[in-house]
């Protein structure tokens, strides 16, 4: 039997020559696709304050020459048109990013989405649901000070995102900022001014970066989750009428009723473990009427940490009685995007409610003791 040269452990002449000339390393280098969607990282000053710079792609490499270091992966970068302050992001823009990733999925080892910090946690959550079956790293990052400024935090966020993709391939949508790698659908913007702009209050960080990288690729075994055993599929979140309502002392039934008109789903930011004003009959009536119209009402907590337990107090049980369901420890950002995602699937409402309480992308922890 003749041996197949492909099975041979002896490197071919071509491989040896490529290795000697440094070409092999070059060939084996990872490739990163960078989408600059807008945001402070690539902004420049204007009379009205910072605005995105359409030339950012070209300027970035002058400002971060480290990205051309021979140890760094290759990259290609595209400046979106229009570039957005992330306050303007909508589900349509999320779809554009997701489609862009899907179109280039086979050609790159990882994806960096440069994004404004204001709604970065929403986009990270949205992409987690939209990119079903993702097996490559998608890292959202940006900065609090634009790269054009001397004290910018952009350089570190970019260089480290490159290195995470090169050496620690996480298989999910993440957010990297200020030495921390977060699961995208667990992240929240917590600081408007500091470099530590993000946190993941209800889930451990996927990684921390100091002198060494400590990246937990298999944290919570998301990669092994059965949802991941499918080819990459992009889901659209455009369409469903979804809202968010934060309770406050003095909230009245009429206001809630008006807020719920025309909605298909709402995240109710309730107090503490999921409590609301159970003595306010108009308030409860407004929720009940909406639930009877098949509006999905999901309670998240106004607290950053901890989980909803609607059975904990009479003021929470009253919400459950009118049809409110628990969002457990989901962030408002994740719960909102999940509502967009599930309502878009066109499932029967009971199934939407049941999937809201199911962990789909690592976005929630079901408490061991069954709560509402
Ligand atoms: N307003 C900016 C944005 O979200 C803030 C930032 O990028 O930090 O686009």
Q: What is the mean pLDDT of residues 338-358?
A: 97
Q: What is the mean pLDDT of residues 343-364?
A: 96
Question: Does the CB atom of residue 327 touch ligand 1 within 6 A?
Answer: no
Question: Does the CB atom of residue 40 touch ligand 1 within 6 A?
Answer: yes
Question: Does the CB atom of residue 39 touch ligand 1 within 6 A?
Answer: yes
266 has pLDDT over 70? yes
- Compute, in angstroms, the gap from residue 4 CA to the centroid of ligand 1: 56
Residue nearest atom 1 of ligand 1, based on CA coordinates: 85
Side-chain-side CA neighbours of 9 within 13 Å: the count stands at 0
123 has pLDDT over 70? yes
Question: Does the CB atom of residue 118 touch ligand 1 within 6 A?
Answer: yes
**Predicted pLDDT of residue 277:** 98
Average pLDDT of the chain to the nearest whole number: 91
- Compute, in angstroms, the gap from residue 237 CA to the centroid of ligand 1: 22
Look-up of token digits 């950053």: 304
Atom of ligand 1 nearest to the CA of 87: 4
**Predicted pLDDT of residue 227:** 55
For residue range 21-34, list pLDDT tens digits in order: 555 566 688 999 99
Nearest to 56 by CA among 66, 44, 65: 44
Helix or strand run (H / E) with residue 151:
none
Tokens describing residue 104: 């280039």
371 has pLDDT over 90? no
Q: Are strands 43-44 and 51-52 parallel, antiparallel or unpaired?
A: antiparallel
Question: Does the CB atom of residue 52 touch ligand 1 within 6 A?
Answer: no
**Cα-to-chain-centroid distance, residue 234:** 14
Beta-bridged to residue 40, according to DSSP, are none
Domains of the chain: 5-234 (3.40.50.1170), 242-356 (3.40.50.40)
What is the model's pTM? Answer: 0.91
**Predicted pLDDT of residue 104:** 98
Under the banding of pLDDT at 50, 70 and 90, the label for residue 230 is confident
Q: Which residue has the higher pLDDT, 333 or 226?
A: 333
- Compute, in angstroms, the gap from residue 196 CA to the centroid of ligand 1: 14
**Predicted pLDDT of residue 368:** 66
**Cα-to-chain-centroid distance, residue 269:** 20
Atom of ligand 1 nearest to the CA of 41: 7
228 has pLDDT over 80? no
Atom of ligand 1 nearest to the CA of 119: 4
Q: Hey, is 242 helix, strand or coil?
A: strand
Probe target for ligand 1 pocket from 40, 121, 152, with the most ligand atoms within 8 Å of CB: 40
Distance CA 27, CA 24 (A): 5
Q: What is the mean pLDDT of residues 209-214?
A: 92
Distance CA 133, CA 80 (A): 25
**Predicted pLDDT of residue 8:** 47
Q: What is the mean pLDDT of residues 156-163?
A: 97
**Predicted pLDDT of residue 7:** 47
Question: Does the CB atom of residue 87 touch ligand 1 within 6 A?
Answer: yes
149 has pLDDT over 90? yes
Q: Hey, is 246 helix, strand or coil?
A: strand
Q: What is the mean pLDDT of residues 303-314?
A: 96
Which residues does the annotation mark as catalytic? 40
Question: Does the CB atom of residue 42 touch ligand 1 within 6 A?
Answer: no
Is 282 in contact with 253 (CB distance < 8 Å)?
yes
Q: Which residue has the higher pLDDT, 368 or 95?
A: 95
For residue range 21-76, list pLDDT tens digits in order: 555 566 688 999 999 999 999 999 999 999 999 999 999 999 999 999 999 999 99
For residue range 246-262, list pLDDT tens digits in order: 999 999 999 999 999 99
- Compute, in angstroms, the gap from residue 179 CA to the centroid of ligand 1: 19
Is 162 in contact with 69 (CB distance < 8 Å)?
no
10 has pLDDT over 50? yes
**Predicted pLDDT of residue 5:** 44
Residue nearest atom 7 of ligand 1, based on CA coordinates: 116
**For 124-151, b where at least 16 C-beta lie within 10 A, e where not — what string?**
bbbbbbbbbebebbbbbbbbbbbbbeee
Nearest to 97 by CA among 163, 171, 34: 34
- Compute, in angstroms, the gap from residue 116 CA to the centroid of ligand 1: 4
Residue nearest atom 3 of ligand 1, based on CA coordinates: 116
């Amino acid at each position: 039997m003749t041996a197949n040269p492909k099975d041979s452990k002896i490197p071919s002449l071509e491989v040896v020559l490529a290795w000697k000339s440094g070409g092999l390393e070059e060939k084996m280098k990872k490739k990163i696709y960078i989408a600059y969607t807008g945001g402070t990282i690539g902004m420049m000053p204007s009379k009205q304050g910072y605005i995105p710079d359409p030339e950012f792609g070209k300027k970035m490499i002058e400002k971060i020459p480290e990205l051309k270091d021979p140890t760094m992966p290759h990259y290609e970068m595209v400046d979106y048109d229009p570039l957005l302050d992330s306050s303007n992001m909508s589900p349509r823009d999320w779809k554009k990013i997701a489609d862009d990733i899907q179109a280039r999925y086979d050609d790159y080892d990882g994806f960096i989405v440069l994004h404004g910090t204001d709604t970065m946690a929403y986009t990270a959550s949205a992409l987690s649901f939209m990119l079903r079956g993702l097996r490559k790293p998608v890292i959202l990052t940006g900065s609090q000070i634009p790269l054009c400024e001397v004290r910018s935090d952009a350089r570190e966020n970019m260089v480290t995102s490159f290195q995470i993709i090169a050496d620690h391939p996480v298989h999910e949508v993440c957010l990297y900022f200020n030495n921390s790698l977060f699961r995208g659908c667990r992240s929240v913007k917590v600081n408007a001014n500091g470099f530590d702009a993000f946190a993941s209050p209800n889930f451990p960080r996927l990684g921390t970066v100091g002198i060494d990288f400590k990246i937990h690729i298999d944290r919570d075994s998301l990669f092994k989750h059965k949802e991941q055993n499918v080819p990459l599929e992009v889901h659209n979140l455009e369409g469903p009428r979804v809202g968010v309502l934060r309770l406050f002392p003095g909230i009245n039934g009429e206001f809630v009723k008006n807020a719920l008109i025309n909605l298909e789903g709402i995240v109710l930011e309730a107090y503490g473990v999921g409590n609301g004003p159970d003595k306010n009959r108009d308030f409860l009536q407004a929720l009940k009427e909406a639930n009877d119209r098949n509006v999905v009402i999901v309670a998240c907590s106004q607290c950053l940490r901890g989980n909803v337990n609607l059975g904990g107090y009479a003021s929470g049980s009253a919400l459950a009685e009118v049809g409110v369901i628990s969002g457990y420890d989901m962030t408002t950002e994740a719960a909102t995007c999940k509502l967009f995602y599930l309502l878009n699937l066109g499932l029967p409402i009971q199934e939407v409610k049941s999937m809201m309480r199911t962990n789909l992308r690592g976005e929630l922890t079901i408490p061991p003791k069954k709560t509402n």
